Amino acid sequence: MTVSRRIALIDSCGSWPGAADATAFADHGGHVERREPGPDPSGHGSRVARLLTVGDAALELLLAQVFLDAQPASAAAVAAAVDWAVASHADLIHMSLGLAADREVLSAAVARAVGLGCLIVAAVPARGALVYPAGYAGVIRGTSDARCAPGELSHLGDWLYGGCPRFEAATPGKTASAAAGGASIGAAWVTRSILNGPRAPTANGTVEALTAMALYLGPEGRGRKP
């Protein structure tokens, strides 16, 4: 089998069938310890893993577990996970997460990854303040867009794309599905579109390809692009 992509998922998922590698990152007062991953405390990362991998036998998945319990992940743990993903030869890092504060340790890790040509997709709220790592240069930002069905994209701004806010198609006759997930799932659909689309040699090329695939331009409320 030819492996087309090597993807790192930084989230709460510690195991997934066929995953190439998995590591947990525990922050002890700024000192990050790597250890064996445990169960997914929320199920969020596992749902994202399912969305990213369904039907794609040519994908290698790396798991970086930074949510170990009900507590938020730290910038230091996410930064260590980014460095690990790059050292593990991931060509794309997906983060359906966002930290409220800009931290130098995370900024530096993202800059190193981007500088080495690793694609990064990170979630950002559809409304509200910018979060990190989505706020850093060179990061493709993903959010939710209610106009989008599974697999559809909107182009919302500079390096900003919207995807379906649900894991699956909505139940007929209802306005929402039990599989709703918001911005974090919209971001996962953006990454899924990258995996399904033509492979570009640069991040700029990937952004151009996403823009070409987008069915909608501008904020929600506008129709399909001409």
CATH number at residue 134: 3.40.50.200
Distance CA 182, CA 126 (A): 9
Residue 36 lies in a domain: yes
pLDDT-based confidence at residue 168 (cuts at 50, 70, 90): confident
For residue 174, which amino acid is it? K
Q: Which domain holds residue 122?
A: 5-217
Is 150 within 8 Å of 168 (Cβ atoms)?
Answer: yes
* Residue 106, CA atoms < 13 Å, CB-side half-sphere: 23
Residue 107 lies in a domain: yes
State the pLDDT at residue 217.
92
Task: Write down the pTM of the prediction.
Answer: 0.92
**What does the pLDDT look like over 99-152, one tens digit per residue?**
999 999 999 999 999 999 999 999 999 888 899 999 999 999 999 999 999 999
Q: Is 219 exposed, middle or buried (0-12, 13-18, 19+ CB in 10 A)?
A: middle
Res 91 pLDDT > 60: yes
Average pLDDT over the chain, rounded to an integer: 91
Residue 224 lies in a domain: no
Residue 225 lies in a domain: no
Residue 125 lies in a domain: yes
Residue 76 lies in a domain: yes
* Residue 103, CA atoms < 13 Å, CB-side half-sphere: 16
Number of separate domains in the chain: 1
Residue 39 lies in a domain: yes
Residue 46 lies in a domain: yes
State the pLDDT at residue 111.
98
Res 176 pLDDT > 50: no
Residue 73's contacts (CB-CB under 8 Å, 6 or more residues apart) are: 27, 66, 67, 97, 99
